[in-house]
Structure 1
Amino acid sequence: MTTVGRQSNPAEGTGAQITIVGLGLIGTALGLALKASNLSNLRIVGHDKEPDVSSAAVKAKAVGRTEWHLLRAVEKADVVVLAVPLAEMRGLFEAMGPVLKPGCVVTDTANTKAMVVRWATELLPAHVHFVGGDPIVQAGAGGQRAASASLFQHTMYAVTPLPDTSPDAVRVVVGLVEAVQAQPLFLEPAEHDGLVAVTANLPLLLAAALLTTAGQGETWREIRRLAGSTFDTATHLGSGGADALASATLANAGNVVRWLDAYAAQLAAWRERLLAGDQAALSALYGSALEARAQWLVERGHGFTEAIPLPEPPPTNVQRLFGIRRRTPKGS
């Protein structure tokens, strides 16, 4: 892999270029976090197919500038981050592959990895390096307007290289992850997808099913009046839209079906306890669930200290690869 960029005066605009394709919540937040990071001499270029979204990203100072033409946005990039729905990913690989310069590192933020890796392997040229990524953020409603530089702080960020992925390319992506104050977690693409099926795909499918069930028949007129925060939380479907939800679920269908079957078995067990009027058994089931959730929240708050990633290179390696330097703290 060739060295990216060189040491230079930031005012000259000749440092490493990162292009973020897709300026919704994740893309805009990445730009803001990189701008606020301890990495200097970066040029952050944005691209989004929606002009209003691009303008809002510039106004928020998440990117230095935007480029309406995709190929112009990526042709000089040292790193390209694809923060777009899964359904758009294959077309982007196909379109931009021929213009990416040698040594360019491409990463993504989709929560399905095996399919994305296959597309990247098939469509990107050999002189371009792909390293899958998936930021595990606590994102609520609001879309791009909710983007902030702190979105990734103290969160897990899955990094899913293949065995033959360039180590230097992996270091570049790890450098970005650490720059936005997230913790890299190394997973194989297939392993990642098996886990995400129960943490992301299945909850969204169940939310849609609950809404469909509650919305059937005349009783919905009364149900909607009684629905409070519990129902709101249980039926939250994010802001991706129906097509994006369907694409993500189908892309991971095998894993989702396996977890759905396990969930159905659990529901059957709970149903038996209800029919039997077994107070003690229901209390035990709820107690176990409450304990498991409390433990998860504690562990998440401490950054899952047992989830130690593979040994990382010292920061100087990332600096050398990018041709950038860390800002010197004031007063030092």
Structure 2
Amino acid sequence: MKPAIKRIAIIGMGLIGGSLGLAIKASQGEKVEVTGIDTNELSMLKAKQCGAADRITADYKTGIMSADMIFVCTPVLQIATLIKEIAPHLKQGAILTDTGSTKTYLIQEIAAALPRGVHYVPGHPMAGREKSGIEAAVGTLFYDKWYILTPTRDGDAAAVEAVRQVINWTGARVTEMNAAEHDWCTALISHVPHIGAAALVNLLTYLQDQENSIKLAGGGFRDTTRIASSNADMWADICMTNAGPIADSLDKFSQIVSQVAAAVRQGDRDSIHKFFSNAKQRRDELLLLEQAANEQPLTNEHL
């Protein structure tokens, strides 16, 4: 039987935590009490003012002690340490989840630290913005975006369903996969693209006439590098906690770029044409698959 969720605590009232609070309150109103927990006093005040939390506190113990479900929305390297600190104060039956971008590392660190009777359901919303902080939070951030749950083998099925229910309130599309598969997928479709965007921006430092080059940079460059404006601390943490999949994907990416560079030097137009043609065909196929997936109706549980 799915436990009733009446009190939710959100630790970390930034973009993700703030958007989560806004979405839950917009869907459930007074039926669910949201407590926002953050060490940044200004973030807490803004969370209360914008309606992302009913109550605010900097005291983890006070904020979580009566919570039915706790979302930990801090940078990924802080999550495990924080959960180990709060674990003794979680009530029996509480459900703990997180929004970290890497899952294998967190599961290994967290699972053994939780007291008996507390359930952990790892999660990761595939949503974000290039801006950060509570100021960037919006209640529609998760709507129609994928939200991945990576339950452990011995995880409680009712707890997983309870987290799924709460995520449905945000309008997100919930799916499940194992942690290792998640980490490889996100390395390829999220982590490496962020590194690539940052590399393109850093490439500008090699230009002799940076001023004119930046002035002439059009929409294509801005669109391609938009995500390079993301939070540096967050992305440094992601690289540290998903090192293997990211490094291996970067190696493959480097091989592809090196092959193109060699073809350019050799004037091998056929190879270069094939490179672009294959990419266009593959991307068009991916867009069709994405469109088909997005045409699947959302459930009404979030209404």
CA RMSD across the alignment: 2.6
**Fraction of identical pairs, as percent:** 27
Tell whether 2:95 aligns with 1:105. Answer: yes
Query: Cα deviation per residue 1:51-81 (whole Å; 9 max; x = unaligned)?
Result: 1111111111111111121111111110000
Letter of the 2:228 counterpart: L
The alignment covers a number of residue pairs equal to 301
Q: Which of 175, 178, 193 is the matching residue for 1:185?
A: 175
TM-score normalised by length of structure 1: 0.82
Post-superposition shift, 1:183?
1.2
Q: Taking structure 2 as the reference length, what is the TM-score of the superposition?
A: 0.89
Match of 2:259 in 1: 269
Taking the TM superposition and a 5 Å limit, the aligned residue runs for 1:74-93 are 74-93=64-83
**Residues 48 and 171 of structure 1, relative CA distance in 2, 3 Å threshold:** same
CA–CA separation in structure 2 for the residues paired with 1:130 and 1:240:
27
Structure 2 matches for 1:159-170, cutoff 5 A? 159-170=149-160
TM-aligned CA distance change 1:152 to 1:129, over 3 Å: same
> RCO higher in 1 or 2 (8 Å CA, sep ≥ 6)?
1
Find 2:24's aligned residue among 34, 37, 52: 34
Any conservation in 1 of the 2:96–2:119 contact (CA below 8 Å)?
yes
Amino acid at match of 1:237: A
Residues 107-126 of structure 1 aligned to structure 2 (within 5 Å)? 107-126=97-116
**1:248 lines up with 2:229 in the alignment:** no
Tell me how far apart the structure 1 counterparts of residues 3 and 276 of structure 2 sit (CA, whole Å).
Answer: 54
Residue in structure 2 matched with residue 10 of structure 1 by the alignment: none
Distance 2:108 2:295 in 1: 31
Aligned to 1:16: 6
**Residue segments in structure 1 that go unaligned for 5+ positions in a row:** 6-14, 316-325, 328-332
Query: Distance in 2 between the 1:151 and 1:65 partners?
Result: 22
Please give the per-residue CA displacement for 1:174-194, whole angstroms capped at 9, x wherever unaligned. Answer: 111211111111111111001
Q: Do residues 149 (structure 1) and 139 (structure 2) align?
A: yes
Name structure 2 gaps, 5 residues minimum: none
Match of 1:11 in 2: none
Residues 135-159 of structure 1 show CA distances to partners (whole Å, capped at 9, x for unaligned) of 1115243643332222111111100
Given that residues 156 and 182 in structure 1 are in contact (C-alpha distance below 8 angstroms), is that contact kept between their aligned partners in structure 2? yes
Helix, strand or coil: the match of 1:205?
A: helix
- Pick aligned residue for 2:201 from 199, 203, 211: 211
After TM superposition, give the deviation of residue 213 of structure 1 in Å. 2.9
Amino acid in the other structure paired with 1:41: K
